[in-house]
Chain A
Amino acid sequence: MMKYEIKKTFRAKEVIVWLILFPIIMGTLYKFTLGNIFSGNQFSAVRLAVVQNTDDGMFRNIMDNMEKTDPPYVKLTYCSSEEEALSLLYKNDVTGVVVIDPAPETGEKKEDAFDLDTVDTQAILDQYLSTGTVNAFDDQGANDFLTKYLDGDENGYVKDYLANFTGGEFFPKTHITLKLRKNGMDETMAKKMVMMYINMQNQVREMMDFTHMTAESGDMISKAMNGQDNIVEPLQLTTGNTDPFSSYMYNLIAMVAIFGSLVGVGIAQTHQADMSPEGARRSCSSLPKSISILACFFSYCISMAICVSICITFLTLVLGVDFGSRLPLVYLSGICGGIMGVAMGFFLGCVGKMSPGARSGFVMALNMTLCFLSGYIVMGIKGILEHNAPIVNDLNPAAIICDSFYYLNMDAGLERFIGQLLKMGIYTAIFVILGFILTRRKKYASL
């Protein structure tokens, strides 16, 4: 009998449409419409032409390192003249042109503690690498400064710089100009990079003022050069996946799970004599109704598990959605949600008396409402309800499925996720018990 119940499920149009085709079509549409919007994380290198009218070793050193990252942040083309660089810009071969000129003379020259013309930078570096400290200067503060400076050089920028230093000011004061042709994502990135360097250069030069030079300032400069010392420390909200595209796909799976109610309605309809001729025939059979209902329920749960698995597998293997290392838990949560959907449908199928078409319409409308309130359709609704009427989210089965995926996505631990699974189990039990109570009527007042 279970065999035929499963067969019936997969031959029903509404199941094929809502539980199989719908997620495949919606997932594909999400992929092609939203996938590119959220692909901002896939950074493409900003192409810059560089004209060095004066030598700025630090700039070259930092930019060269940014070019060596994987993926590279910038792709540099060094040009001998500004005209050559601009011709590349006009041919769209580069996004912008960086021109490095000597800084205009202010007439006031600050005494620099690190006039490295007087010392051998390679020897300082060798000394540091062999002993872990710098002892090249008479001034202990300067030695401590450089030691700290090198200690914090995680990316090796300073070591590279010292190794390749050919003389002159340790941090030459330069005037940097960025020339762009248009506005755009790459142009904005180019502006940010150059501004970052200019700010850093000014910051470092201020800190390198000999009179303020301490070991701590060396540490700070190193951090600044490594991009670690931000004025505002970013707060780590989650260790999970914050990719909005994945969130949409989680919502899609949750939607499929709650649509299990469309399948569950069939349990009530085909077991009650006053709802369908098939129900009347079943009620006349020698098979106890409770056994028949349970067999039907388990069959539909299997069907739902298959539908949800098809959906998740399609999203993962065909559309390449990355659910991370918790993929088995995604399956688990989806299947549990699907079972709860079937149980909810069973309960809804038992409530009141209406035609099969009207009941399907009612269940569909209710599903859509629950999904809307859970933020499947318009993101943000759930948050508003959580703030103003949290009881709605607590009672909404769709929100429970939604939350399970949310916690799975965002939390490092599984405590809240397991809590949601338990809630699903409780809801499933409640719906099934209520369904049994409503269908256990032995006789009907009218057929």
Chain B
Amino acid sequence: MENTVVKIENLVKNYAELRALDHLNLEIKEKEVFGLLGPNGSGKTTTISCLLSLLSYDEGNIELFGKPMTPVSYDLKARIGIIPQNVAVFDVLNVYENVDNFCAMYISDKAKRKKYVDEAIEFVGLNDFTKFRPKKLSGGLLRRLNIACGIAHKPDLIILDEPTVAVDPQSRNKILEGIVELNKQGATIIYTTHYMEEVEQICSRIMIMDRGKKIAEGTTDELKKTIKNTETIYAEMADPGHVILQKMKHLPNVMDAVWSDGKLAVSCAGGKQNILDVMSIVRDEGLSFGRVYSELPTLNDVFLTITGKELRDKNERQEETPVRKK
């Protein structure tokens, strides 16, 4: 049986009047890639900070590797690698020096450290940038450096707190591939994000959080099964009108039919020929249409179903700009 790496019981954290974590329970097994998914402000980073004993909390227990986690649990800390949300590197040190500096907090043997640092730099693909100072690196490379600083000492548990924020797709893919590779090498991963597609791509198990509470937990498939919506049919067309939408809603297996932004969306639960049923109404009414396609439910649908709101704003990723909080 796989060992429990992280165990959180009834964790409560209040910021004055605001309850950031509300009796949170969580258990992560060895070699899992555990996704902590939730919108901004849902309590993901607070959970991580409490887990690392950086933040005080009001109630609950936290255990890592079967031992209680305290600020002086240096034996436990030696097994953890943290990649914080805000890039935590020194601007005045170059790439190699930064990784070496942070690795030195864990590894005192110089030869061993050099090997580890070289491997970490190789792993994140910064070999050509070892002499570069962080300010000379792009957002994606900077994030990779941030990761290298956290994994150089080869930890058993790696905590990545939104590591792909403001990163271009190419770098994001590189980072995600790297996380999967670390997991293959034996590390347990905790991955927090509000990008559901990333979680679906790499996580073996997911917990969805909102307002400091766990609202769902399981594998991607398990979570998707929790909602009735199995398929959403989209058709690009002009507004079909209220009457036609009502007709569609009365089709077998159809749960809802809405039109917005030049696109008809019909949510279905079960059934195999839903798209033919919908398109037959379109044909009968003589409506012209453009592209027609069908999508399986996403974690956003899960989140939407449970909370009644989107996991994140549609344009959120495009609007994000690289931010380094110092």
Residues of A within 8 A of B (CB): 1, 4, 7-8, 11-12, 273, 276-278, 280-288, 292, 356, 442-447
Contacts and interface: CB of A to CB of B under 8 A. Distances in A.
B93 A7 contact: yes
Interface string B255-282: 0000000000000000000000000000
Contacts of B90: 4, 8, 278
B84 A281 contact: yes
B77 interface: yes
A283 B82 CA distance: 10
A307 B54 CA distance: 35
Nearest to B97: A4
Interface string B84-107: 101111101100010011101110
Contacts of A292: 105
B54 A286 contact: no
A445 B14 CA distance: 9
B80 interface: yes
Contact of B88 (A280, A286, A287, A442): A280
Contacts of A278: 88-90
A354 to B, nearest CB: 13
Given A1-B101, A281-B82, A444-B54, 18 more contacts: A1-B105, A4-B101, A11-B93, A12-B92, A277-B84, A277-B88, A278-B89, A281-B88, A281-B150, A284-B52, A286-B75, A286-B106, A287-B106, A288-B72, A292-B105, A443-B56, A443-B71, A446-B55
A446 B149 CA distance: 24
20 contacts: A4-B97, A7-B97, A8-B93, A11-B93, A12-B92, A280-B84, A281-B84, A281-B150, A284-B54, A284-B80, A287-B74, A292-B105, A442-B53, A442-B71, A442-B72, A443-B53, A443-B56, A443-B71, A446-B15, A447-B55
Contacts of B100: 4
Contacts of A356: 326
Interface residues of B, number: 35
A188 B252 CA distance: 118
A276 B93 contact: no
B77 A286 contact: yes
Given A8-B92, A277-B326, A442-B72, A285 B105 contact: yes
Contacts of A277: 84, 86-88, 325-326
Interface in B131-166: 149-150
B202 interface: no
Nearest to B150: A281
Contacts of A447: 49, 54-55
Nearest to B83: A281
Contacts of B149: 281
B78 interface: yes
Nearest to A282: B105
Contacts of B87: 277
Given A273-B54, A443-B53, A444-B56, A287 B105 contact: yes
